[in-house]
Structure 1
Amino acid sequence: MTSIDLGTVITTIFVVVDDWCQKQVKSITLLKPGVKASMSDSEIMTLALLMDYLPFPGETQFLGFIRGNYFEWFPNLLDQSQFNRRLRK
């Protein structure tokens, strides 16, 4: 049995989520007031899905792992409290 590397999993999840967001959620997000977010909803949802599948004890450890290993993939990664607020929305 072969194993899929985490980079491929992240890319696959992001593509599926982003395609879905472009088709289903785009019209809703256009109505949001305020400054445009630096991190897209697709990126937030991708990280939320990854967090459910990877065995980290909490969000802090997960975000630390992403920040330490995949920061170039998520250059606008929010701090812990901002990420939590966006995730709960």
Structure 2
Amino acid sequence: MTNLLKLKSNEDFDYDPNTLLDCLLNKLHLKNDAALSRALKIGPPVISKIRNRHLPVGASMLIRMQEVSDMNIKELRALMGDKRPKFNEK
């Protein structure tokens, strides 16, 4: 089976969900991914799948991360290397 998150262009190569997860661990003063999964109210396998790039960080996950961390969505997207423009940006 091919990787779920196949990258299509060179600008996507900066995508790294681990940076985002590590920053959340640090900001929330958590020791490990199990503690992060409890804070986000998701199962530990979800964090593992995100770290291993088998599951993308979706919109609902970003919203939950924003609620728990008080960081805005733009900051969270930047941390994971998402450089796609917004709809209203030119």
| TM-score (norm: length of structure 2) | 0.27
| TM-score (norm: length of structure 1) | 0.27
- Higher relative contact order by CA 8 Å / sep ≥ 6: 1 or 2? 2
Between Structure 1 and Structure 2, the one with more helix by share is 1
